[in-house]
Amino acid sequence: MRKPIELKKTEIKMTKKTGAYIVMIAGLILLIINISELDFSNLKNGPFSGIVSNVLLILAMIISVRDLNKKENK
């Protein structure tokens, strides 16, 4: 039988931080796509929920990375 892989605390933090950055980049890509598909001539029928959700996702990841950095520096 194989021995399970043991991760140190620093490796786990780096994994969380890397995941947060990946989600942030994906959110930025989706935000750009949503803005490019926005019909500026008729803004009443625009998909604002997609744009707002992407902005909230990016803000949440920024806060998460900041919190991980603060915990790392302690």
Integer Cα distance of 59 and 31 in angstroms:
12
Q: 74: pLDDT confidence band, cut at 50, 70 and 90?
A: confident
What pTM does this model have?
0.72
CB atoms within 10 A of CB 31: 18
Integer Cα distance of 49 and 26 in angstroms:
17
pLDDT, tens only, 1-53:
677 777 666 666 567 888 889 999 999 999 999 888 887 777 777 668 888 99
Compute the average pLDDT of residues 46-72: 88
CA proximity to 20, closest of 70, 59, 72, 73 = 59
- Stated as kind and residue range, the H or E segment containing 34 is helix 9-36
